[in-house]
Amino acid sequence: MTNARTIPQEIQRQLSDWDKFFRRWWVYHYALGVSATIFSITVASNPKLLQPIPNLIETLAWLAAILVALITFLTPSRRAKAYLAAWRTLHLACARYTADPNSPLQDLLDAAKKGEDFISQSDPI
């Protein structure tokens, strides 16, 4: 039985970065979405408890609108999914590379390129 090969440090760093960015974009997605929903429901229900506080309902309405605009412009869920797809593609190539001594380094590089393509397709611009 042969020893498993090690993944190049640059590829390991890329995997780690993509995992970090996936998690970050997913947190943005939920933080913006939950906050926008709470503010929208609060404004729509117009609770009597908040009416005595000057400009609070208007401020919450603006915050809800800004958060929805950020979700629309940044598309954090789409970006999170792209980083996850990139990570999965490269992670699978790494598993093959370490398990199969016949798997060439070029497969890792190709997987990294494919992952970058997933990520670039998620850019809003």
- Look at residue 46 and give its three-state secondary structure: coil
What's the Cα-to-Cα distance from 47 to each of 29, 64, 89, rounded to whole Å? Answer: 27, 16, 49
Token pair 């800004």: residue: 66
**What's the pLDDT tens digit per position in 26-44?**
999 999 999 999 999 999 9
pLDDT at residue 74 tops 60 = yes
For residues 94 and 4, the answer to whether their CB atoms sit within 8 Å is no
Beta-carbon contacts of residue 29 (< 8 Å; ≥ 6 apart): 71, 76, 77, 80
pLDDT at residue 1 tops 60 = no
pLDDT at residue 104 tops 60 = yes
pLDDT at residue 60 tops 90 = yes
Average pLDDT, the chain: 93
Nearest Cα neighbor of 22 from 72, 93, 91 is 91
For the segment 86-94, the average pLDDT, to the nearest whole number, is: 98
Residue type, 81: K
Distance of CA 77 to the CA centre of its chain: 6
For the segment 55-67, the average pLDDT, to the nearest whole number, is: 95
Question: Cα(36)–Cα(19) distance, rounded to whole angstroms?
Answer: 26
For residues 10 and 105, the answer to whether their CB atoms sit within 8 Å is no
